[in-house]
A and B are shown apart, each in its own frame.
Chain A
Amino acid sequence: MNRQDEFIQTFTIWGRDFSRAGSVSTEIKEILQEIGVPSSIVRRVAIASYEAEMNVVMYAHKGELILTLNPETIKIEVEDKGQGIEDIELAMQEGYSTATEEMREMGFGAGMGLPNIKKNADVFIITSTPGVGTYLKMLFYLDNEKAK
Chain B
Amino acid sequence: MTLKEIASHLNLEIITGGDHLSLEVKDGYTSDLLSDVIAHAPPACLWITLQIHVNIVAVAKLKDLAGIVIVNGRQPDEETKQKAREERIPLLLTKETAFRISGRLYQLLAKGR
Contact in complex: B35, A21 (CB < 8 Å): no
Q: A116: which B residues are within 8 A, CB to CB?
A: 35, 38-39
**Known: A18-B53, A19-B54, A19-B83. Is A112-B36 also a contact (CB below 8 A)?**
yes
Number of interface residues of A (CB under 8 A): 21
**Within the complex, which residue of B35, B61, B62, B83 is in contact with A112, where a contact is CB–CB below 8 Å?**
B35
**Min CB distance, B72 to chain A, in Å?**
14
| Interchain CA distance A106-B55 in the complex, whole Å | 9
Number of interface residues of B (CB under 8 A): 20
Which among A19, A46, A51, A113 has the highest number of chain B CB atoms within 10 Å?
A: A19
| Interchain CA distance A21-B58 in the complex, whole Å | 7
Contact in complex: B53, A47 (CB < 8 Å): no
Is B109 an interface position by the 8 A CB rule? Answer: no
**Min CB distance, A53 to chain B, in Å?**
9
- Which residue of B is nearest A46, CB measured? B62
Contact in complex: B61, A107 (CB < 8 Å): no
Describe A's contact surface by its main secondary structure. helix
Contact in complex: B38, A47 (CB < 8 Å): yes
Q: A21: which B residues are within 8 A, CB to CB?
A: 55, 58
**Known: A21-B55, A23-B58. Is A107-B32 also a contact (CB below 8 A)?**
yes
Question: 7 A-B residue contacts at CB 8 Å?
Answer: A19-B79, A51-B35, A54-B34, A106-B55, A107-B32, A110-B34, A116-B35
Chain B contacts to A: CB under 8 angstroms: 32-36, 38-39, 49, 51, 53-56, 58-59, 61-63, 79, 83
